[in-house]
Amino acid sequence: MKEYHILSLSGGKDSTALAFFMKEFMPEIFEKLELVFCDTEKEIPETYDYLNKIEIFLNKKITRIKPKKGFDNIIATTNFLPSHKHRWCTGLLKTQPLENYIKNLKIRLQLNKINLYIGIRCDEIVRTKGAGKNQLIQEKFPFVENNIYKNDVENILKNTGIGMPDYYKWRKRSGCYFCFYQSTNDWLKLYENHPDLYKKAMEYEYNDCKYIKNGRMGFNMEFSLKDMIKPENIKKIKEKYTIIESEKREITPCKLINLFSPATI
Ligand code: SF4
Sorting pLDDT into bands at 50, 70 and 90, what band is 265?
Answer: very low
Cα of 89 from ligand 1 centre, angstroms: 6
Residue ranges around ligand 1 (CB below 6 Å): 40, 82, 87, 89-90, 93-94, 175-176, 179, 181
- Asked whether residue 59 is assigned to any structural domain, the reply reads yes
Cα torsion at 129, 29, 7, 103 (round to 10°)?
Answer: -90
For residue range 179-229, what is the model confidence (pLDDT) as tens digits? 999 999 999 999 999 999 999 999 888 765 554 555 445 888 888 898 999
Please indicate, yes or no, whether residues 102 and 229 belong to a single structural domain of this protein.
Answer: no
- Asked whether residue 223 is assigned to any structural domain, the reply reads yes
CB count, 10 Å around CB of 91? 12
Beta-strand pair 34-38/3-9? parallel
Cα of 176 from ligand 1 centre, angstroms: 5
- Asked whether residue 35 is assigned to any structural domain, the reply reads yes
Please indicate, yes or no, whether residues 149 and 196 belong to a single structural domain of this protein.
Answer: no
Nearest CA to ligand 1 atom 4: 176
CB count, 10 Å around CB of 155? 18
Please indicate, yes or no, whether residues 52 and 121 belong to a single structural domain of this protein.
Answer: yes
Please indicate, yes or no, whether residues 89 and 220 belong to a single structural domain of this protein.
Answer: no
Residues 82 and 85: their CA atoms lie apart, in Å, by 8
Helix 13-25 to helix 150-160 angle (10° resolution) is: 70
Please indicate, yes or no, whether residues 215 and 88 belong to a single structural domain of this protein.
Answer: no
pLDDT at 21 over 90: yes
What's the pLDDT score for residue 136?
Answer: 73
What mean pLDDT is reported for the chain? 88
Cα of 174 from ligand 1 centre, angstroms: 9
Cα of 207 from ligand 1 centre, angstroms: 19
Please indicate, yes or no, whether residues 63 and 167 belong to a single structural domain of this protein.
Answer: yes
Please indicate, yes or no, whether residues 20 and 109 belong to a single structural domain of this protein.
Answer: yes
- Dihedral sign (CA 71, 97, 85, 126): negative
The phi and psi torsions of 223 (rounded to 5 degrees) equal -135, 155
Name the DSSP letter for residue 98: H
Nearest CA to ligand 1 atom 1: 175
- Asked whether residue 177 is assigned to any structural domain, the reply reads no
Q: What is the CATH number of the domain that holds 157?
A: 3.40.50.620
Which of 162, 150, 161, 92 is CA-nearest to residue 121?
150
Contacts of 215 (CB under 8 A, 6+ apart): none
Name the DSSP letter for residue 11: S
- Asked whether residue 94 is assigned to any structural domain, the reply reads yes
Q: Where are the alpha helices (DSSP H) in the chain?
A: 13-25, 27-32, 45-58, 71-78, 88-90, 96-109, 142-145, 150-160, 184-193, 195-207, 209-213, 225-228, 231-247
Residues 57 and 160: their CA atoms lie apart, in Å, by 9
pLDDT at 256 over 90: no
What's the pLDDT score for residue 207?
Answer: 64
Number of domains in the chain: 2
Nearest CA to ligand 1 atom 6: 90
Please indicate, yes or no, whether residues 142 and 207 belong to a single structural domain of this protein.
Answer: no
- Asked whether residue 52 is assigned to any structural domain, the reply reads yes
Three-state secondary structure readout of 100-135: HHHHHHHHHHCCCEEEEECCCCHHHHHHHCCCCCCC
Domain that holds residue 37: 3-172+252-264
Contact between residue 37 and residue 64 where contact means Cβ atoms under 8 Å apart: yes
Please indicate, yes or no, whether residues 193 and 138 belong to a single structural domain of this protein.
Answer: no
Please indicate, yes or no, whether residues 29 and 155 belong to a single structural domain of this protein.
Answer: yes
Please indicate, yes or no, whether residues 168 and 198 belong to a single structural domain of this protein.
Answer: no
For residue range 36-83, what is the model confidence (pLDDT) as tens digits? 999 999 999 999 999 999 999 999 999 999 999 999 999 888 878 898
For residue range 75-103, what is the model confidence (pLDDT) as tens digits? 888 878 898 888 999 999 999 999 999 99
Sorting pLDDT into bands at 50, 70 and 90, what band is 251?
Answer: very low
Q: 138, exposed or middle or buried, with CB in 10 Å at 0-12, 13-18, 19+?
A: middle
